[in-house]
Amino acid sequence: MSEMILVTGAVGQIGSELTVELRKRYGNDSVVAGFHRKKPGATLQNGPSELVDVTKKESVENVVKKYDITTIYHMVAILSAVGEEKPNLAWNVNMNGLYNILEIAKEHNMRRVFCPSSIAVFGPETPQKSTPQETILRPRTMYGVTKVAGELLCDYYFRRFGLDVRGLRYPGIISSETLPGGGTTDYAVEIFYEAVKNKRYTCFVKKDTILPMMYMPDCIKATMDLMNAPLSSLKHHSDFNITAMSFSAGELAEEIRKHIPNFVCEYTPDFRQNIADSWPRTIDDSCAREEWGWKPNYDLPSMTKNMLEKLEKRYEEGKL
Ligand code: AKB
């Protein structure tokens, strides 16, 4: 049976770049870009796209039937900051949406499902340095609550129904193509755009706030590598710790200043500071390394250089 993929949230920060890479690997017609409010832009016009509301089972099911979908990358989520402003929405989209996806995947005997988790599963009682794979999961955000419950639900479907569901606890993801929406780690992306456009940025967490991060090419590699790993090599399924680098907001600004010496960064913490403070500083991702060979390519200097090259080019072309 040939692979037919549905990406939900294909217009979002990760979904938009993941869809492009999946189409390169499996062919344009084999990857359906599922969108909700915003329509796909030019980079996603080379293949099918469909309106998908994950909170409505039949909306997902219609697309699954129309294209004989065999694999779903379920990238839709309400992130941590918006989730605190709209907890009902976060629960509805993140939990009911995931439940619909898992039910449909089970009913249609799908080959595999990817569902992202996040460092938001951790909380203030979790060890913050080299946070272990197996540890205390008592998040303080609605987003974190839905991600813990989501991991458990995915593992339940694997054990109870044999559905091959896999997932990663993404750290903050830094990307140059699509802006993130509504997360606590968004400052680590916004800072680059503002540095290139205005040479100043007001950061919403304190200068010494350290969080785990990853550059988008590594995020896409991790996602696709996990999905292509042999099932027999996996001891974990939906909850892999994963990281690439950790730095403070001040260290990030300093690294940008090596390329843009007159860049000024100020710090005005808001409600997102509390969320950041409840998350780990560094992550132990040895299970991902052992079970499916995870190894990142980018660190802080190489990610910063690459981000600035890409954004400066777009700025000069008037596309930023
Ligand atoms: C957020 O900040 O909410 C997300 C995440 C770490 O899952 N980027």
pLDDT higher than threshold 80 for residue 262: yes
Question: Could you tell me if 143 and 118 are in contact, meaning their C-beta atoms sit under 8 angstroms apart?
Answer: yes
Strand order in the sheet with 117-118: 117-118, 168-170, 240-241
The rounded Å distance from CA 65 to ligand 1 centre is 32
Ligand 1 center from residue 2 Cα (angstroms): 33
pLDDT of residue 296: 98
Q: Is the pLDDT of residue 113 over 70?
A: yes
Written as one string, the DSSP assignment of 96-149 is IHHHHHHHHHHHTT-SEEE--EEGGG--TTS--SSB-SS-----SSHHHHHHHH
Q: What is the pLDDT of residue 34?
A: 98
Pick among 3.40.50.720, 3.80.10.10, 3.90.1150.10, 3.50.50.60: CATH of 5-172+215-241:
3.40.50.720
**Residue of 73, 143, 170, 267 marked catalytic:** 143
Ligand 1 pocket, mutate which of 82, 84, 170, 214 (most atoms under 8 A from CB) = 170
Q: What is the mean pLDDT of residues 20-34?
A: 98
Read off the pLDDT of each residue in 84-94 and give the average, rounded to a whole number.
98
297-311 pLDDT, tens digit each: 999 999 999 999 999
Given this model, what pLDDT does residue 60 score? Answer: 98
Give residues (CB < 6 A) around ligand 1: 79-80, 118-120, 143, 170, 172, 183-185
**What pLDDT does residue 37 have?**
86
Give the pLDDT confidence score for residue 2 in this predicted structure. Answer: 86
**pLDDT of res. 181:** 87
For residue 21, pLDDT over 70 is answered with yes
> Which pLDDT does position 27 carry in this prediction?
98
pLDDT over threshold 90, residue 145: yes
- Looking at the CA of residue 80, tell me the nearest atom of ligand 1: 3
Q: What percent of the chain has pLDDT over 70?
A: 100
What is the second-level CATH architecture of the domain 176-213+246-281+298-316? Alpha-Beta Complex (3.90)
pLDDT mean over 91-105: 98
Average pLDDT over residues 136-149: 98
| Domain residue ranges in the chain | 5-172+215-241, 176-213+246-281+298-316
Q: Tell me: pLDDT of 129 over 70.
A: yes
The mean per-residue pLDDT over the stretch 226-251 comes to 98
**For a substitution probing ligand 1, which of 173, 187, 219 has the most ligand atoms within 8 Å of its CB?**
173
pLDDT band at 1 (very low <50, low <70, confident <90, very high): low
26 is catalytic: no
